[in-house]
């Protein structure tokens, strides 16, 4: 078997709990599994709502190479001013043409392999974004031909739309995967073309919660149907991620594996 690029994709990192879990486990994972590249969704890094330079730096410092984003991209207003400063940040390619930042990036591994990461956002139940299918065509046209892997984060609510993107990019991307729902799916597959697919990586955060938020506040909003402030759970996070082995000569995925690291203690 030819030498492969070992890549770890981490789902939505939610708040302090998710950041704390990754600080504890990611450096060891990188070392033990000889990972070449790590990409994570960072739209919930800061208390569950957006990201900041400070919390992003925490992730870059422990081995994350690229942070993708989603519908909470601008929750921290300061990020509007800083997203252009670092090409390790990407935001959905099909945001408004007036949005700062970039929809794709190419980063190089220590071994010299070039990994392209594209970020998209869905339209179904998500808002009036531009067409993600047109946007990904633009990204693929702009990305240099010499990349060794192409990863596509499809930040979307509907599994059908995510699957549609997976088939649309069949044979053209190394891995198409979903983020946003905070619920991991067990439908990982490698198509005959060599493109891997998974509907949602899952959240890296506390599952003793309602998608990472404290139960009382989230449940009160559902039952009473009145505005309620959401607060992120700060302890007891699980890590959900997916590991890939990609052949750099073909960009094909040759192996895929879901990874789950539960919390040491379940909250009472």
CA 162, CA 145: separation in Å to the nearest integer?
A: 25
pLDDT classification of 1: cutoffs 50, 70, 90: very low
List pLDDT tens digits, range 14-42. Answer: 999 999 999 999 999 999 999 999 999 99
Sign of CA dihedral 198, 201, 207, 213: negative
The domains found in the chain, sorted by start residue, are 5-261 (3.60.21.10)
Collapsing DSSP to helix, strand or coil, 48 comes out as: coil
Collapsing DSSP to helix, strand or coil, 183 comes out as: coil
Catalytic option among 72, 180, 208, 252:
72
The confidence score (pLDDT) of residue 31 equals 96
47 is catalytic: no
CB 113 within 8 A of CB 149: yes
List pLDDT tens digits, range 71-93. Answer: 988 889 889 888 999 999 999 99
List pLDDT tens digits, range 117-161. Answer: 999 999 999 988 999 999 999 999 999 999 999 999 999 999 999
The confidence score (pLDDT) of residue 185 equals 98
Q: Is 267 exposed, middle or buried (0-12, 13-18, 19+ CB in 10 A)?
A: exposed
**Ordered DSSP codes for 109-140:** -TTS-EEEEEEEE--TTT-SPPPHHHHHHHHH
User: Is pLDDT of 65 > 50?
Assistant: yes
User: Is pLDDT of 221 > 80?
Assistant: yes
Place of tokens 């007891």: 236
Segment 173-194 shows an average pLDDT of 97
| pLDDT above 90 coverage of the chain, percent | 79
pLDDT classification of 217: cutoffs 50, 70, 90: confident
| pLDDT above 70 coverage of the chain, percent | 98
């Amino acid at each position: 078997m030819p030498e492969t690029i070992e890549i770890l994709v981490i789902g939505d990192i939610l708040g302090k709990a998710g950041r704390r879990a990754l600080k504890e486990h990611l450096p060891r994972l990188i070392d033990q599994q000889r990972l070449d590249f790590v990409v994570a969704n960072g739209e919930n890094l800061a208390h569950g709502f957006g990201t900041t330079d400070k919390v992003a730096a925490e992730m870059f410092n422990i081995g994350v190479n690229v942070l993708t984003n989603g519908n909470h991209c601008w929750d921290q207003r300061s990020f509007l001013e800083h997203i252009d400063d670092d090409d390790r940040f990407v935001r959905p390619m099909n945001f408004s043409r007036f949005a700062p930042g970039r929809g794709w990036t190419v980063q190089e591994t220590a071994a010299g392999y070039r990994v392209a990461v594209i970020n998209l956002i869905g339209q179904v139940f998500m808002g009036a974004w531009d067409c993600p299918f047109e946007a990904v065509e633009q990204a693929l046209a702009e990305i240099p031909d010499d990349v060794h892997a192409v990863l596509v984060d499809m930040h979307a609510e509907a599994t059908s739309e995510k699957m549609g993107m997976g088939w649309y990019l069949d044979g053209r991307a190394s891995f198409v995967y979903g983020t946003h729902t905070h619920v991991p799916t067990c439908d990982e597959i490698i198509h005959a073309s060599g493109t891997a697919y998974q509907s949602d990586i899952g959240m890296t955060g506390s599952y003793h919660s309602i998608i990472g938020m404290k139960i009382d506040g989230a449940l009160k909003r559902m039952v009473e149907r009145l505005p309620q402030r959401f607060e992120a759970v700060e302890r007891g996070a699980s890590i959900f991620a997916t590991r890939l082995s990609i052949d750099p000569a073909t960009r094909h995925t040759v192996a895929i594996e879901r990874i789950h690291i539960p919390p040491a203690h379940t909250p009472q």
